[in-house]
């Protein structure tokens, strides 16, 4: 009995020592990470409220089901004129200045990618992803531009050479992650002077796709097998849904859990009090693409488009999580032709520009074929041939 009690005391003593050492280390490191730049910040408007879908709880599931049944997934685009080297249109001009300025928005850290929310001077809150070794920056830039150019929905990702964040720690994501662990985030962040700043280079700034996200009873996004529930007479046709499936395989969008797709209402002012007139379904998180390991040229090369080309069956079972929510599906000939027409309109110059502008070379530090935009463009051409060439799909 005495021996068991002694062992228990020793365990507790070690736990206290570990906790004390962690806290003792956290505070000096946190203060060392405080920003060093100081200047008077610009005037910031109050954060604008994001549009919310607030249906009556009793009807939320019904309205969400109805929106998905009537959802679109594609709009025609002129691929040949799309500029894959440029940022998306920026009506406010807030993300097109040589030095983008914003104010840090304190929130809990989640996920594994270094990121933080930031308030622009006009009151818009955007998501900033940073870090020289953050593959998601490059993957999302390339994937969102490719999807938008082909006519599918995607968030607007801006590549910003330099962003100045007022009130930002030097590494806000990991600092907050550590401070939250010891429940000291607010205490430490209150010590950050409002006129201090940290500069970040070559960050990705995310503006969400237009519209109000449709969520029901804590359920967000959509699963790939739910595409079968769309009513072709009111929403996306079978060929448009099949084209979207092929697009997902093209970029190797294997991380396809429901929250990585979004169902949104494009009707201005929609609150969920009535059925959505313009529902749209899109992929909203494409950071784990061009792999399955993010922006891995060899991995992308080995990621097949077809599981069975003779029967036009597609599958993601060779990817992580056994394909996730993406079920084996037979692609229609009309769907294959739709995306093939879009892809064949791409020029060699556009394909090289896509990977050059997304800074694939800088991520790979010019080492190996992964640092050559031309090699990525050639692999994209090969995958386009895999889709476009061959016999028609069986009817």
Give yes or no for residue 20 having a pLDDT over 70: no
Cα angle value 312/315/317 (rounded, 5°): 155
- Percent of residues, the chain, with pLDDT higher than 70: 91
Instruction: State the average pLDDT for the chain.
Output: 91
| Other Cβ atoms closer than 10 A to 34 | 17
pLDDT at site 183:
79
Helix or strand run (H / E) with residue 265: strand 261-265
pLDDT digits (tens, 9 = 90+) for 53-96: 988 888 999 999 999 999 999 999 999 999 999 999 999 999 99
* pLDDT tens track for 329-352: 999 999 999 999 999 999 999 999
Q: What would the DSSP string read from start to end of 57-88?
A: HHHHHHHHHHHHHT-B-B----GGG--TTSPP
CB-based contact 115:129 (threshold 8 Å): yes
Kindly state the tokens that stand for 57: 């709880």
- pLDDT tier at 395 (50, 70, 90 boundaries)? confident
**pLDDT confidence of residue 78:** 97
DSSP, residue by residue, 103-134: EEE-----SSS-EEEEE-TTS-EEEEE--TT-
With 0-12 CB in 10 A as exposed, 13-18 as middle and 19+ as buried, what is 18? exposed
What span, in angstroms and rounded, lies between the C-alpha atoms of 223 and 331? 17
pTM, two decimals, is 0.90
Model confidence pLDDT, tens digit, residues 199-217: 999 999 999 999 999 998 8
Q: Which has the higher per-residue pLDDT, 110 or 251?
A: 251
DSSP secondary structure letter of residue 43: P
Which segment of 129-143, 178-192, 240-254, 296-310 scores lowest on mean pLDDT?
Answer: 178-192
Higher per-residue pLDDT: 217 or 314: 314
Q: What is the pLDDT of residue 37?
A: 82
Q: How confident is the model at residue 320 (pLDDT cuts 50, 70, 90)?
A: very high
Q: What is the pLDDT of residues 346-372, one digit of tens each?
A: 999 999 999 999 999 999 876 678 889
pLDDT at position 22 is 47
pLDDT above 80 for 3: no
DSSP string for residues in 318-365: TSGGGGTT---EEPPHHHHHHHHHHHHT--HHHHHHHHHHTTHHHHHT
- Please report, rounded to a whole number, the percentage of residues in the chain having pLDDT higher than 90: 73
- Angle (CA) 148-151-154 rounded to 5° is 35
- pLDDT value of residue 370: 84
C-beta of residue 197 within 8 angstroms of C-beta of residue 165? yes
10 pLDDT more than 80? no
Judge contact between 14 and 93, C-beta under 8 A.
no
DSSP 307: S
Neighbours of 132 (CB within 10 A): 10
pLDDT tens digits, 105-136: 988 888 889 999 999 999 999 999 999 889 99
pLDDT of residue 98: 92
Looking at the predicted structure, is the pLDDT value of residue 186 above 90?
Answer: no
Residue 358, pLDDT score: 97
The top-scoring range by mean pLDDT among 108-112, 270-274, 322-326 is 322-326
């Amino acid at each position: 009995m005495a021996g068991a009690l002694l062992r228990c005391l020793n365990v507790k003593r070690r736990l206290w020592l570990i906790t004390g050492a962690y806290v003792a280390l956290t505070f000096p490191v946190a203060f060392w990470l405080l920003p060093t730049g100081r200047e008077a910040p610009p005037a910031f408007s109050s954060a604008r409220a994001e549009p919310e879908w607030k249906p009556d709880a009793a009807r939320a599931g019904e309205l969400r089901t109805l929106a998905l049944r009537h959802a679109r997934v594609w709009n025609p685009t002129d691929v040949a004129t799309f500029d894959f080297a440029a940022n998306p249109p920026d009506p406010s001009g807030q993300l097109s200045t040589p030095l983008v300025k914003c104010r840090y928005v304190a929130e809990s850290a989640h996920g594994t990618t270094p990121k933080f929310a930031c308030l622009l001077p006009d009151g818009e809150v955007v998501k900033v992803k940073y870090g020289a070794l953050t593959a998601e920056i490059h993957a999302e830039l390339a994937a969102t531009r490719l999807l938008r150019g082909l006519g599918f929905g995607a968030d607007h990702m801006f590549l910003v050479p330099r962003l100045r964040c007022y009130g930002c720690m030097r590494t806000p994501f990991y600092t907050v992650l550590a401070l939250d662990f010891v429940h000291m985030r607010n205490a430490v962040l209150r010590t950050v002077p409002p006129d201090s700043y940290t500069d970040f280079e070559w960050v990705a700034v995310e503006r969400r796709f237009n519209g109000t996200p449709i969520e029901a009873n804590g359920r967000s996004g959509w699963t790939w097998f739910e595409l079968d529930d769309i009513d072709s007479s009111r929403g996306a046709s079978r060929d448009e849904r099949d084209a979207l499936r092929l697009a997902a395989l093209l970029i190797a969008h294997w991380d396809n859990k429901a929250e990585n797709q979004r169902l949104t209402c494009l009707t201005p002012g929609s609150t969920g009090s009535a059925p959505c007139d313009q529902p749209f379904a899109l992929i909203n998180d494409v950071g784990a693409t061009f792999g399955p390991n993010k922006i891995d040229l060899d991995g992308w090369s080995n990621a097949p488009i077809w599981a069975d080309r003779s029967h036009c069956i597609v599958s993601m079972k060779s990817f992580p999580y056994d394909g996730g929510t993406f079920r084996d599906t037979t692609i229609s000939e009309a769907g294959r032709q739709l995306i093939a027409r879009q892809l064949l309109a791409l020029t060699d110059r556009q394909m090289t520009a896509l990977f050059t502008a997304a800074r694939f070379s800088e991520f790979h530090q010019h080492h190996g074929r992964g640092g050559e935009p031309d090699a990525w463009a050639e692999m994209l051409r090969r995958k386009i041939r895999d889709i476009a060439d061959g016999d028609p799909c069986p009817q």
